[in-house]
Amino acid sequence: MIITVASFKGGVGKSTTALHLAAYCQQLAPSLLVDGDLNRSALDWASRGQLPFKVVDEKQGVKFAPDYEHIIIDTPARPAPDDLKTIASGCDLLILPTSPDALALGAKKANGRCHALLRSQLSNSANLNSSPSF
C-alpha cells in the first residue's frame, strides 16, 4: 500500500504523521518511509537512533520501494494543485493533515478547491467512504 501525507500548510504534523504511520505499518509488513519534505525531518530522526523501518529520500525511494509492502511518503508542504493531482493518483491513501487554528483557514480553502479534483481522481480506484484495510 502506498500512503502519501501532504499538506497545504507547514507545521501541521505531516512528518510526525508519516513517522507514526510507518511505525504502525511496519508491525504489519516491511515498510519504507520516503522523506520528500525539504526539511528532511524523518531522515534527521532516523539518523539519531534506530527506527523500526527504513527511511530514505525521494531519490532513493525508487530503488528501495520494490522491497517493501508499505510505502509511506512525506511530501513537501504547499503542493501546487497539479502536483497534488499527480500525488493523489499515485497512492492508495492520501492523508491531508491540518490544524484547527484560524491561520489554517486559508490552506483549508485551497484544500476545498482541490477536493473535487481529488475525488474524481480517486473515485475510480478507491471508495472514499470506506476505511483502508491494512
Q: What pLDDT, in 10s, does the model give residues 51-85?
A: 999 999 999 999 999 999 999 999 988 888 888 88
Give the pLDDT score at 71.
96
Asked if 41 and 12 touch (Cβ cutoff 8 Å), the reply is: no
Question: pLDDT of 6-57, one tens digit each?
Answer: 987 778 889 999 999 999 999 999 999 999 988 898 999 998 988 999 999 9
For residue 93, tell me if it sits in a domain.
yes
How many domains does the chain fold into? 1
CATH code: domain of residue 59:
3.40.50.300
The pTM for the full model equals 0.74
What residue type is 101 in one-letter code?
D
How would you classify the pairing of strands 93-95 and 31-35? unpaired
The Cα 95–Cα 92 span in angstroms is 10
The phi, psi pair for 22, rounded to 5°, reads: -65, -40
The residue among 49 and 126 whose pLDDT is bigger is 49
Q: What is the pLDDT of residue 82?
A: 85
129 within domain boundaries: no
Q: What is the pLDDT of residue 33?
A: 97
